[in-house]
């Protein structure tokens, strides 16, 4: 048996290989409308409605750091990121189960805080937490949430329905979660440095001033699933032709839609919704905010396409914008940058992108249209840790 490292094929390469193995099991049940390959699996119910199901994992030191993450926030985030996958199907979330792996460092009271946060978030979304499993863990805290929702067959949105001419839209703003993460990781380091230099001090003696960064940190620690946008689509009577939630960054999600819909895309850098607060953080770190938006991830906004005839109706929803349009597949997946140059997004993934830039930084030329200008790499992966602290994916940690 050969030994292929997961990092050699990447997370998506691995999913493709595993999907091939489980595909024969999908054939056994004709009520299965969609198996692996979208934000949720889709199952036809006897009453004609569609059931949607998704699972997401949060793992200590991969997805979160307990030094910078309040436990109640962690519980809430575990629910929100799952609800977000249900929203990405234009569906309504209903039930969730929580599996949790616990290290010795976690007390009963700490577990209660996680569940209190999860319960508060679930209540906001109208989701019932109906069970789960608990186990000891030697590798730190692990939280796995499985969520079930429901959709009307005429409203469900797959990644595969985008048509040439459709408008590409985003809810909210992007890049802010990564900005929050950058600040949290910097303060974490400062905290650890302080303890190293002053062994008598306690963690609670470290009092960082987060007042300038509140919006960014809140977006990272307490993202909200866009149930409001889904509610608007239902009430206004419009259905996105394709939809996905932004967990890995706009670039990666856009490529999923294009790949699944067999289309290309052109988005405009100037139209990316990036808040001033996000730009202030990226300026402070001498990064480019566009890089945060394209590759940062964990914003849990919705990236979706609509028919141009639905544009007027969509404009009644105040928290969404158009960032580009769907093109024929042969046009590729591109972004027109601030200078009018069309950058090919097809072969850029966040961390490959960062790696390319770190190699080519010294000789990056003005005329190189394949590398976004001025998008200086931040030298950190998804969780703000250094590249040499590589996980099994070798490229991304979620
Ligand atoms: Mg998703």
155: which 2 tokens? Answer: 């409203």
Q: Which residue has the higher pLDDT, 134 or 378?
A: 134
User: What pLDDT digit, counting tens, does each position of 276-286 carry?
Assistant: 999 999 999 99
Q: Name the strand (E) or helix (H) holding 228.
A: helix 227-236
Distance 172 CA to ligand 1 centre (A): 16
* Residue 369: pLDDT over 50: no
Of 79-93, 136-150, 378-392, the poorest mean pLDDT is in 378-392
Q: Return the residue matching tokens 């977006």.
A: 219
Distance 298 CA to ligand 1 centre (A): 10
R_g (Cα) of the chain, nearest Å = 21
What's the whole-number mean pLDDT along residues 242-267? 97
Q: Which residue has the higher pLDDT, 67 or 359?
A: 67
Q: Which residue has the higher pLDDT, 391 or 13?
A: 13
Distance 207 CA to ligand 1 centre (A): 35
Distance 282 CA to ligand 1 centre (A): 25
Distance 186 CA to ligand 1 centre (A): 28
- List the one residue out of 323, 315, 169, 126 whose CA is nearest residue 236: 315
pLDDT at 350: 53
**Under DSSP, is residue 389 helix (H, G, I), strand (E, B) or coil?**
coil
Distance 6 CA to ligand 1 centre (A): 21
Distance 84 CA to ligand 1 centre (A): 7
- Answer whether 323's CB lies under 8 Å from 275's CB: no
pLDDT at 12: 85
User: What pLDDT digit, counting tens, does each position of 40-69 carry?
Assistant: 999 999 999 999 999 999 999 989 999 899
What residues does 145 pair with on adjacent strands?
56, 98
- List the one residue out of 197, 187, 229, 198 whose CA is nearest residue 88: 229
Distance 297 CA to ligand 1 centre (A): 11
Q: Which residue has the higher pLDDT, 210 or 393?
A: 210
280: which 2 tokens? Answer: 């202030």
Distance 39 CA to ligand 1 centre (A): 4
String of DSSP letters for 54-90: EEEEEEBTTTB-TTT--HHHHHHHHHHHHHHHHHTTT
Q: Which residues of 299-337 are buried (b: 16+ CB within 10 A; e: fewer)?
A: bbbbbbbbeeebeeebeebeebbbbbbbbeeeebbbbbb
Alpha-carbon dihedral sign for residues 337, 186, 356, 160: negative
- Answer whether 4's CB lies under 8 Å from 16's CB: no
Distance 17 CA to ligand 1 centre (A): 19
Distance 302 CA to ligand 1 centre (A): 9
String of DSSP letters for 101-162: EE-TT--HHHHHHHHHHHHHHHHHHT-EEEEEEEEE-SSS-EEEEEEEEEE-TTT---TT--
* Residue 257: pLDDT over 90: yes
- List the one residue out of 29, 37, 31 whose CA is nearest residue 51: 31
pLDDT at 24: 87
* Residue 128: pLDDT over 80: yes
Of 54-63, 168-177, 261-270, 299-308, the poorest mean pLDDT is in 54-63
Percentage above 90 pLDDT, the chain? 74
| Mean of pLDDT over the chain | 87
Domains parsed from the chain with CATH numbers: 6-151 (3.30.1330.10), 167-363 (3.90.650.10)
pLDDT at 392: 33
> Which protein residues have their CB within 5 A of the ion that is ligand 1?
39, 85, 245
Distance 41 CA to ligand 1 centre (A): 11
- Answer whether 213's CB lies under 8 Å from 285's CB: no
Taking the CB of residue 275, how many other CB atoms lie within 10 A of it? 18
* Residue 395: pLDDT over 60: no
Distance 52 CA to ligand 1 centre (A): 12
User: What pLDDT digit, counting tens, does each position of 62-79 carry?
Assistant: 899 998 999 999 999 999
String of DSSP letters for 35-61: -SSSSSEEEE-TTS-EEEEEEEEEEBT
pLDDT at 203: 77
| Pairwise CA distance, residues 24 & 2, whole Å | 24
pLDDT at 211: 87
Taking the CB of residue 370, how many other CB atoms lie within 10 A of it? 13
pLDDT at 393: 33
pLDDT at 349: 59
pLDDT band at residue 200 using 50, 70 and 90 as cut-offs = confident
- List the one residue out of 236, 253, 279 whose CA is nearest residue 168: 253
Distance 244 CA to ligand 1 centre (A): 6
Q: Name the strand (E) or helix (H) holding 99.
A: strand 92-102
What's the whole-number mean pLDDT along residues 371-397? 35
* Residue 121: pLDDT over 50: yes
What's the whole-number mean pLDDT along residues 82-108? 96
| Pairwise CA distance, residues 262 & 240, whole Å | 16
Distance 211 CA to ligand 1 centre (A): 31
Of 190-199, 236-245, 303-312, the poorest mean pLDDT is in 190-199
| Pairwise CA distance, residues 358 & 365, whole Å | 14
- Answer whether 118's CB lies under 8 Å from 183's CB: no
């Amino acid at each position: 048996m050969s030994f292929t490292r997961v990092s050699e094929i990447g997370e998506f390469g691995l999913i493709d290989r595993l999907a091939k193995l489980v595909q024969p099991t999908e054939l056994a049940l004709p009520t299965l409308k969609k198996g692996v390959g979208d934000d949720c699996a889709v199952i036809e119910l006897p009453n004609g409605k569609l059931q949607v199901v998704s699972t997401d994992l949060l793992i200590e030191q991969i997805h979160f750091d307990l030094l910078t993450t309040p436990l109640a926030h962690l519980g809430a985030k575990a629910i929100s990121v799952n609800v977000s996958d249900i929203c990405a199907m234009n569906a309504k979330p209903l039930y969730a189960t929580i599996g949790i792996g616990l290290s010795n460092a976690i007390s009963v009271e700490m577990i209660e805080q996680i569940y209190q946060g999860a319960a508060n978030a679930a209540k906001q979304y109208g989701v019932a937490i109906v069970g789960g499993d608990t186990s000891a863990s030697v590798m730190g805290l692990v939280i796995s949430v499985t969520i079930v929702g429901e959709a009307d067959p005429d409203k469900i949105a797959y990644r595969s329905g985008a048509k040439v001419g459709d408008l590409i839209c985003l809810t909210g703003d992007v890049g802010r979660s990564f900005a929050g993460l950058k600040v949290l990781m910097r303060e974490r380091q400062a905290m650890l440095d302080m303890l190293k230099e002053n062994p008598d001090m306690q963690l609670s003696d470290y009092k960082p001033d987060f007042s300038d960064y509140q919006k960014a940190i809140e977006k990272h620690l307490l993202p909200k699933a866009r149930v409001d946008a889904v509610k608007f689509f239902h009430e206004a009577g419009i259905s996105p032709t394709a939809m996905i939630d932004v967990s890995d960054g706009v670039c990666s999600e856009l490529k999923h839609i294009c790949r699944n819909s067999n289309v290309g895309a052109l988005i405009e850098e100037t139209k990316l919704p990036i808040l001033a607060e996000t730009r202030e953080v990226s300026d402070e770190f001498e990064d480019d905010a566009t890089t945060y938006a394209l590759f940062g991830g964990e914003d849990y906004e919705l990236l979706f396409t609509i028919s141009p005839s639905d544009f007027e109706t969509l404009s009644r929803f105040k928290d969404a914008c158009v960032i580009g349009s769907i093109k024929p597949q042969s046009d590729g997946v591109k972004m027109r940058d601030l200078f009018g140059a069309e950058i090919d997004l097809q072969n850029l993934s966040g961390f490959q992108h960062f790696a390319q830039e770190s190699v080519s930084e010294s000789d990056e030329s003005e005329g190189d249209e394949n590398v976004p200008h001025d998008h200086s790499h931040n030298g950190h992966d998804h969780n703000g840790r250094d590249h040499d602290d590589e996980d099994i994916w070798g490229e991304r940690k979620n």
